[in-house]
Amino acid sequence: MTAMEAQQELQHIILRVSTNGLDYDTGKAMAVPFLEVINKKGEEISKKHNKRFRPLTWGYALRLGI
């Protein structure tokens, strides 16, 4: 799975949580594998450009609405 596909799936989960289709904890459990894929790609990019990596968390993804 690519980071782009993981981001799309994460968007669907966030939409379901924000429209009360899922509760917070279930959404978080479903999102963890997708967050790992996104964070792994982010680490690769930040190493390439010698920058500090700040991982995407579930709470921050909900606030952003990714």
pLDDT 10s digits, 44-63: 999 999 999 999 999 999 99
State yes or no: pLDDT of 65 exceeds 90.
Answer: no
Report how far residue 18's alpha carbon sits from residue 30's, in angstroms, rounded to the nearest whole number.
14
What number of H helices and E strands is found in the chain? Answer: 3, 0
Report how far residue 26's alpha carbon sits from residue 44's, in angstroms, rounded to the nearest whole number.
29
Cα torsion for 42, 25, 18, 13, to the nearest 10°?
A: 50
Quick check: pTM over 0.85?
Answer: yes
Name the residue with tokens 């909900």: 62
For residue 2, what are the contacts with CB-CB under 8 A and spacing of at least 6?
Answer: 37
Q: Where are the domains of the chain?
A: 3-64
